[in-house]
Amino acid sequence: MTEGVPDYSFETQIGGLVAGVDEVGRGPLAGPVMAAAVILDPKDIPEGLQDSKILTQKRREALFDMIAACAEVSIAEASVAEIDELNIRNATFLAMRRAVLGLKRFPDHVLIDGNAIPPDLPCPATAIIKGDARSVSISAASIMAKVTRDRLMVTLSQQFAGYGWEKNAGYPSKAHLQALQDIGVTPHHRRSFKPVHNILYQRHLINR
């Protein structure tokens, strides 16, 4: 494997039907956490797969369409309510599990980006640190999850203007934090996250 360039070597070593899984949206103050599971065709792997975070938006969008056309893809989420109820770690595991279960074919093995394996997966799994830069299946999953979530946040930004979600995807940018102070908390904000919780607590004290 070339340094920093993902390939299909993990999948080949494991054998059978292997799915790559990745998530996006652990850090934002608003919106769901999104996960994708992707089974690539080893004879038809799109060129240029890479960690979605280092690709341009234009390249991500192009690869999204290419992956959708040639791979088996399942995309799932855990809602803001589930994040607040379960905590972000467990909600992320839930989204990943849903993505795997949503695949049309049952994978023999799952490659997970990161250092933790979600409990109750329906098949064996391997966690790969920086997997989105090492396994093309995980790279593909990272692209599918990120593009889907970014598109959702653009849609939500049209319903709740002023927070800049079309640019910051719900992450705590300076403009987003200022909008929370000026406009307030929306139904799509994660109330268990400290900046949102603090604003709600301040408002509660003022209104007492």
148 assigned to some structural domain? yes
61 and 129 assigned to the same domain: yes
40 assigned to some structural domain? yes
Q: How many domains does the chain have?
A: 2
98 assigned to some structural domain? yes
Neighbours of 187 (CB within 10 A): 11
* Count of helix runs (H) and strand runs (E) in the chain: 8, 5
78 and 111 assigned to the same domain: yes
Phi-psi region at 200: left, alpha or beta (left = phi > 0; alpha = psi -120 to 50)? alpha
Gap between the terminal Cα atoms of the chain:
61
pLDDT for 204 beyond 50: yes
pLDDT for 12 beyond 90: yes
Q: How far apart are CA 4 and CA 38, in angstroms?
A: 20
Confidence at 45, pLDDT banded by 50, 70, 90: very high
Task: Give residue for tokens 């192009």.
Answer: 62
Higher-confidence residue of 201 and 188: namely 188
DSSP reduced 3-state for 200? helix
Here the tokens at position 198 are 């603090």
Average pLDDT over residues 24-37: 98
Question: Is 138:110 a contact under the CB 8 Å cutoff?
Answer: no
2 assigned to some structural domain? no
The CATH number that applies at residue 81 is 3.30.420.10
82 and 45 assigned to the same domain: yes
3 assigned to some structural domain? no
Share of the chain above pLDDT 90, in %: 91
Q: How far apart are CA 193 and CA 78, in angstroms?
A: 15
90 and 172 assigned to the same domain: no
Q: Which domain holds residue 28?
A: 9-158
Average pLDDT over residues 134-143: 98
99 and 135 assigned to the same domain: yes
116 and 84 assigned to the same domain: yes
Confidence at 201, pLDDT banded by 50, 70, 90: confident
176 and 95 assigned to the same domain: no
Q: How many CA atoms lie within 13 A of 102 on its CB side?
A: 17
SS3 labels along 128-149: ECCHHHCEHHHHHHHHHHHHHH
Sign of CA dihedral 142, 145, 151, 154: negative
Give strand pairing partners of 19: 110
4 assigned to some structural domain? no
Confidence at 202, pLDDT banded by 50, 70, 90: confident
pLDDT digits (tens, 9 = 90+) for 62-95: 999 999 999 999 999 999 999 999 999 999 999 9
pLDDT for 116 beyond 60: yes
118 and 34 assigned to the same domain: yes
197 and 109 assigned to the same domain: no
100 and 15 assigned to the same domain: yes
Angle at which helix 136-159 crosses helix 57-70, to 10 degrees, equals 120
pLDDT for 4 beyond 80: no
Confidence at 1, pLDDT banded by 50, 70, 90: very low
Q: For the chain, give the mean pLDDT.
A: 94
Q: How far apart are CA 109 and CA 47, in angstroms?
A: 23
